[in-house]
């Protein structure tokens, strides 16, 4: 095998990998998973951040 054949096989492998990943990411069965993952930053269930906010409020109000 010469260098050109190896480079061609690597390029073909990467193209196939890209196509497979593209279809996996945009398939309908994974849609809910990625929507949930994208909305994680908007969830208001973080108890630790609420505790820190309450602690800072007490310090500011000298309680």
Q: Over the stretch 2-52, which tens digit does the pLDDT of each residue have? A: 999 999 999 999 999 999 999 988 888 888 888 888 888 877 666 666 666
pLDDT at 59 over 80: no
The DSSP-derived string for 3-61 is HHHHHHHHHHHHHHHHHHHHHHHT-GGGHHHHHHHHTGGG----HHHHHHHHHHHHHHT
Spans of all domains in the chain: 1-32
pLDDT given at position 30: 83
d(CA 36, CA 29): 13
pTM above 0.95, yes or no: no
């Amino acid at each position: 095998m010469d260098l050109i054949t190896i480079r061609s096989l690597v390029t073909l492998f990467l193209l196939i990998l890209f196509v497979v990943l593209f279809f996996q990411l945009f398939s309908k069965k994974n849609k809910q998973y990625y929507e949930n993952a994208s909305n994680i930053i908007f969830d208001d269930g973080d108890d630790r951040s609420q505790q820190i906010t309450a602690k800072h409020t007490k310090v500011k109000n000298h309680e």
